[in-house]
Amino acid sequence: MAGLAESGSNPDVDLLYDINGLAKDAPRWFDRGMEFMGEYGLLLAMVLLVLWCWWTVRRRGGDGAAVSVAALVWTPLAAGIAVLVNVPIRGFVERPRPFADHQGLDVLVSGKSDFSFVSDHATLTMAMGVGLFVANRKFGLVGIGLALLEGFCRVYMGVHYPTDVVGGFALGTAVALLLSPLAMALLTPVTKAVERSARVGWLIRARVAPAGQDALIPGARSEQPEERDLAA
């Protein structure tokens, strides 16, 4: 395994050298692309995915639109709460960035002087991906895929250990899922009230579904309730 001599028998560091070693053999333009995706691109893609899901939900309308939008509102809130929870974790663990303790890494982004565990980027994207999955399975699976790619980018860039990323995934998932019932109980009455408003009701539902026909969010099937996208 690459980096074995420099890391001894630590599989976390071994995997760090293996993944980051790909950057040394890649063209410069590819590294620049990975740097942009890992720092900003995938976070932006996740935000756009949430907006796309919201647009789809409100366009379809239906009786469940307010509940679905409540789940979408919870998605960025879950990400924000997860990052706040990470603040004391970082201060308690105080793990230096990998390039501070290991030589020979190809670090693609400079200026990272804070602690490494856990990865904020991994926490943010996975919390949003899981939050999306609560609202809509299809969009959620895409979001979780983006989160996994984000984690790979952070290790590829040489700014996080693999366990930093796994810790971020676990933290983001835990916050998004464990607090989801409470969040939905608080947010659903708000979105239902907004839906009834003549001025801002369009934020929840663009049009009224035809009589006798419930418009569901994408992927849901009225004849099979267990396959509805909304998991909350």
Q: How far apart are CA 169 and CA 127, in angstroms?
A: 8
> Per-residue pLDDT tens for 191-214?
999 888 888 888 888 755 444 444
Residue spans of alpha helices (H) in the chain? 4-7, 11-25, 28-36, 42-60, 65-93, 98-101, 120-135, 137-156, 162-178, 180-196
DSSP secondary structure code for residue 2 in this structure: T
DSSP assignment of 122-148: HHHHHHHHHHHHHH-HHHHHHHHHHHH
More confident residue, 214 or 108: 108
Q: Hey, how many other C-beta atoms are within 10 angstroms of the C-beta on 32?
A: 12
Q: Give the range with max mean pLDDT: 55-59, 187-191, 224-228.
A: 187-191
The C-alpha torsion from 144 through 146 and 148 to 152, rounded to 10°, is -170
The pLDDT value given to residue 229: 58
The predicted pLDDT at position 214 comes to 43
Name the nearest CA neighbour of 32 among 112, 97, 109.
109
Confidence of residue 77 (pLDDT cuts 50, 70, 90): very high
pLDDT band, very low/low/confident/very high, at 79 (cuts 50, 70, 90):
very high
pLDDT computed for residue 202 by the predictor: 86
Tell me what the pLDDT averaged over the chain comes to.
Answer: 84
Percent of the chain at pLDDT exceeding 90: 53
**Residue-level pLDDT at 109:** 86
How far, in Å, CA of 36 to CA of 195, rounded?
Answer: 38
pLDDT mean over 155-177: 95
Q: Per mean pLDDT, which range of 12-16, 32-36, 101-105, 227-231 is the poorest?
A: 227-231
C-alpha 195/C-alpha 40 separation (Å) is: 33
